[in-house]
Structure 1
């Protein structure tokens, strides 16, 4: 089979297209013929070495993807062969991710994908959708599960609504009946956030964005899903309601944040940091169940007309896919693996 591998951390140039034996699933595992591989910032950060140390002599990257189960190991229902699935965390603690024609994952990390949902949708779920779910379910007085009506009466601020996670926050929050505000940095990105389903979109580079948010939510927002905590903290605190939650899944532009302790004490701010790797198996399992339900309801479509442009590369150009993501390409970067 064809696979992308790297043996050393470094630039995208360390990625190589090679031939490898088709892997065999072990007990509790399934083998998936990968159709589309999704690329996330975590993938290039792992390749570059800035995310964590390299654990294996040779690694096939990418956590997310979609395809068809073609073999199962012991203790897995053989009826799953032929099932369309979406994959998450395929390369987490394992040497083989989805940038290959076949990959092997634990059976519960291959989630059934409805026939009406494309492989593009499946490959775009994983990290973005599960992260968005986590951000929307950590508030002190909010739900721990998402379903239609779960966030009724709540106001969610999705920072960077044109990004993959921001897009998923908007869609899941809308599905759960929240009022959704999104902040963006340009008119082009405003169109994408609106297409994703945001009720209100605010360009934070124009006028007074805090006043604009407060005009919509005079009592403040309940949950902020944040991608750039250091840059946006002042705005977040200016619009957060008392006992509101800032759920931050990244800090684009820096790794340190200064907190005004008194201000946050008075607000009773809940500042929740989150990453899927350490969220715990129960949080991940419930997120998978809820995201799968949203997919069945058709609540997580992709494509430019749905607010998330798809930027595609063939398998042999996976290095270019990484470069595109690293240089700030807007949209979801996908690698087409097999027809």
Structure 2
């Protein structure tokens, strides 16, 4: 099969290559998926660049997310079958075979059935962004019904699905963006109130809409501390899913006074039971038609270097390979 691989970490143009390698067979508890879409997340290029770990022991096929069709089922797998359309998450986590290839072998639970009518583009967009959004919101729809949620960066991948999942659960959603173009994307996802944080009076505008929020899905804690604390109160939970170049200094007294809870989310370390609950919520939302794909930029597998560089340079929407 054709696959993008790297054998050492470094710049995309220096270490990524498309090669012919042997298609793997699924082992116990695994399935093999014929990949139709391979989606790229920021952690994919950061891992390849060596920012999050070490060189692979032999080679690594990158990319955690994607969509495709199961074409082989390993022993002991009873709830997946050949011919089933699926969306993938965490494919390359602890696994040599990510989705940047014609075929991927992975644990069966990481290949989630895609319902009839759901597009491959939507399936490829889900994965890490949607499951991260679910975990930030605690995969607890009943608690969100009637709640107010603030989503920082509503035009980003996690922000997009945080908006849609919160709305699906019955919350009202405020989001912050950096441009009118991104504001339109957030409105299309269902945000009730959109604020450009680069304009003067952003905090006052948010507080004018809601003096206190119940949940905050945060992409840049240091940059947004003043806004978060301005609308936080007893019971407010701030879930932080991304880091910044410099660690923020926390104003401990202000946090204590607000009685807010600060929680950090990195999907790769989430407990299996919690991860399963997150995936189940996303799966249900897809089946209900509540989630939509991000605007997509597509590349061929041979253009994996350009595709990863596009994500590294901050592309808006979802960049994906079509093998």
2:307 aligns with 321
Instruction: Tell me, in whole angstroms, the C-alpha distance in 1 between the residues paired with 2:317 and 2:79.
Output: 36
Q: Aligned to 1:221, what secondary structure does the other structure show?
A: coil
Residue 271, structure 1, aligned to residue 299, structure 2: no
List structure 1 runs of 4+ shifted beyond 4 angstroms.
none
| Equivalent of residue 212 in structure 1, options 205, 215, 228 | 205
1:191 aligns with 184
1:126 aligns with 127
Instruction: Tell me, in whole angstroms, the C-alpha distance in 2 between the residues paired with 1:169 and 1:321.
Output: 25
Residue 153, structure 1, aligned to residue 146, structure 2: yes
Cα distance, 1:54–1:280 mapped onto 2, change above 3 Å: farther
Q: Aligned to 1:316, what secondary structure does the other structure show?
A: helix
Gaps of 5+ in 2: none
Instruction: Tell me, in whole angstroms, the C-alpha distance in 1 between the residues paired with 2:132 and 2:143.
Output: 17
Query: Can you list the C-alpha shifts for 1:17-49, whole angstroms capped at 9, x where unaligned?
Result: 100111100011100000001100010010000
Instruction: Tell me, in whole angstroms, the C-alpha distance in 1 between the residues paired with 2:231 and 2:267.
Output: 27
Deviation at 1:251, TM superposition (A): 2.2
Cα distance, 1:78–1:258 mapped onto 2, change above 3 Å: closer
1:239 aligns with 231
2:283 aligns with 292
1:140 aligns with none
Q: Aligned to 1:240, what secondary structure does the other structure show?
A: coil
Aligned residues: 322
Residue 221, structure 1, aligned to residue 213, structure 2: yes
Instruction: Tell me, in whole angstroms, the C-alpha distance in 2 between the residues paired with 1:151 and 1:249.
Output: 19
Contact 2:233 2:259 (C-alpha < 8 Å) held by counterparts: no
Deviation at 1:150, TM superposition (A): 4.5
Contact 1:162 1:189 (C-alpha < 8 Å) held by counterparts: yes
Instruction: Tell me, in whole angstroms, the C-alpha distance in 1 between the residues paired with 2:300 and 2:64.
Output: 17
Instruction: Tell me, in whole angstroms, the C-alpha distance in 1 between the residues paired with 2:132 and 2:290.
Output: 16
Deviation at 1:163, TM superposition (A): 0.5
Deviation at 1:50, TM superposition (A): 0.3
Residue 251, structure 1, aligned to residue 243, structure 2: yes
2:9 aligns with 9
Q: CA RMSD in A?
A: 1.2
Cα distance, 1:79–1:187 mapped onto 2, change above 3 Å: closer
Residue 282, structure 1, aligned to residue 273, structure 2: yes
Q: Aligned to 2:214, what secondary structure does the other structure show?
A: strand
Q: Aligned to 2:236, what secondary structure does the other structure show?
A: strand
Instruction: Tell me, in whole angstroms, the C-alpha distance in 2 between the residues paired with 1:248 and 1:54.
Output: 28
Instruction: Tell me, in whole angstroms, the C-alpha distance in 1 between the residues paired with 2:291 and 2:190.
Output: 10
Residue 169, structure 1, aligned to residue 162, structure 2: yes
1:30 aligns with 31
Deviation at 1:169, TM superposition (A): 0.5
Q: Aligned to 2:54, what secondary structure does the other structure show?
A: coil
Instruction: Tell me, in whole angstroms, the C-alpha distance in 1 between the residues paired with 2:50 and 2:219.
Output: 21
Contact 1:56 1:95 (C-alpha < 8 Å) held by counterparts: no
Query: Can you list the C-alpha shifts for 1:129-156, whole angstroms capped at 9, x where unaligned?
Result: 010001111xxxxxx533xx55112111
1:311 aligns with 297
Cα distance, 1:285–1:78 mapped onto 2, change above 3 Å: closer
Deviation at 1:311, TM superposition (A): 1.2
Cα distance, 1:78–1:328 mapped onto 2, change above 3 Å: closer
Query: Can you list the C-alpha shifts for 1:55-88, whole angstroms capped at 9, x where unaligned?
Result: 4320000001110000011111386011001111
TM-score by length of 2: 0.97
1:101 aligns with 102
